[in-house]
Each structure stands twice: as structure tokens, then as C-alpha cells.
Amino acid sequence: MRELAEGVFQLSGFPRNAINIYLVDDVLIDAGTRQAERRIFKQIAGRQVSLHALTHAHPDHQGCSHVVCERLGIPLWCGADDVPAVETPGGVFNPKAPGWLNRAEQRWWTGPPHPVAKALREGDEVAGFTVLDVPGHSRGHVAFWRESDRVLILGDVINNVNVLTGRPGLNEPPAMFTPDPARNRASARRLAALRPALACFGHGAPLRDPDMLADFVSGLPA
């Protein structure tokens, strides 16, 4: 893993930057798909991990949440409106995606349900970051913001890769995986307005260019 900012590490992965997992001090943020188990445990070996938090309850972020929390004996936190999805069997799925895709995700990606120890709300604190409610891509999507050095961990509100083609660059998350695209756009504008010095995405390379982020959201439909 590599350190992007003080105490903020991005786990390595293959393909690089495809599905991102971060270790922020002793908090693991997101947990990839169910296939990420070796990747995670190999890289966090020997490090203190006391808490696991999610940006949102989608199969490519909560896949290893259960196994990580069980094996390390640590609590799971996520956005309040994503708690039902995380805790309910079959709760993690994309209502707009075709059935075959949901079945494939269930088979290879989606992790089992897990109890949420704390429902995160706007203004809560996680590892020195402030929780921001940024719904749209999921009902309870949250971002983590550290004002002191302007570091933002924003999950899938904006992707820095086209997740369907693998081509790098800023994109809205696909409508197929986004229950409320208009609401997600409002969340994207809110985050870009923070002018993060470093933006850490759920998908795509980290970005140290607040102007590029601002330009991107200004081009989104109203």
C-alpha cells in the first residue's frame, strides 16, 4: 500500500486503482468485493485496525466487510440510510441493474450481511475525518473530509475512471448502479465545492487537482 497523505494509505490492487480500499490511521474504509480477502489481509498484516467503515453498501465495497469485522473483532460503521442494506440478507443489490448482473454480483462479489455498530450521520467523526452525507449513488452514501489538509475520500459520488470501459478520467457513476442520479449530481457539486487538495475515489486514481473536479461538475446536467 502507499501513503497518499498523512495516515491515509491506499491498498494496492490489480488492476491498479480499479476497486479502491483505504486504511486511514486504524480505520479500514471500504472492503472491495468478496474476492478481496487475501488482498486485504496480506496488506493490513501487522497493522492496527480497530474499525471498518463504508462509503456505501454496494457489492464492490462491502464484499469483505463481514470477514474483516469477524476475523479482527472490530465494529462496522456505515451511513445511516445504508444500514438496512448492510444488515439485511439480500439487501445489497442494484435495483436498476439487470437481473443477470445482480445474480453475478451476488455469486462473486456481494458479502454476507453484518450488523452495523454505528449509523453514521453528517458531522460524525471517523479517524479525524468529518462525515458528509452525499446520497444518490446509494441512499446512505457518505464521504470523509479532513479540512486541515483538504483530503476527501468520496466513494462513488464521482469515479475517476469509466468503470464500464476502464478508461481513466472523471465520470459520473453509471446510471445503472445509481438509484438517484440527480441527487448524486447534487452530492458531486457539494464535494467539488470543497476544493479538495486530494480526492480519493472508490474507483480510479487519486486526484490532486481541485480545478479539474470543479470543471467536471460544472459540465454536469443541472
Query: Applying CB under 5 A, which residues contact Zn ion?
Result: 60, 156, 202
- CB burial of residue 95 (10 Å; 0-12, 13-18, 19+): exposed
Distance CA 189, CA 180 (A): 15
What's the min distance (Å) between Cβ of 106 and Zn ion?
A: 16
Query: Which CB, 105 or 197, lies closer to Zn ion?
Result: 105
What's the min distance (Å) between Cβ of 156 and Zn ion?
A: 4
Q: DSSP state, 209?
A: -
Query: Which CB, 31 or 120, lies closer to Zn ion?
Result: 31
Q: How far is CA 199 from CA 80, 113, 124, 146, 196, in A?
A: 23, 29, 19, 11, 6
Query: Which CB, 7 or 77, lies closer to Zn ion?
Result: 77
Q: DSSP state, 168?
A: E
Contact 56, 82 (CB under 8 A): yes
Place of cell 453514521: 120
Query: Which CB, 60 or 81, lies closer to Zn ion?
Result: 60
State the amino acid at position 190 in one-letter form: R
Distance CA 97, CA 201 (A): 22
What's the min distance (Å) between Cβ of 12 and Zn ion?
A: 18
Q: Positive or negative, the Cα torsion across 129, 131, 132, 134?
A: positive
What's the min distance (Å) between Cβ of 46 and Zn ion?
A: 28
What's the min distance (Å) between Cβ of 168 and Zn ion?
A: 16
Query: Which CB, 44 or 158, lies closer to Zn ion?
Result: 158
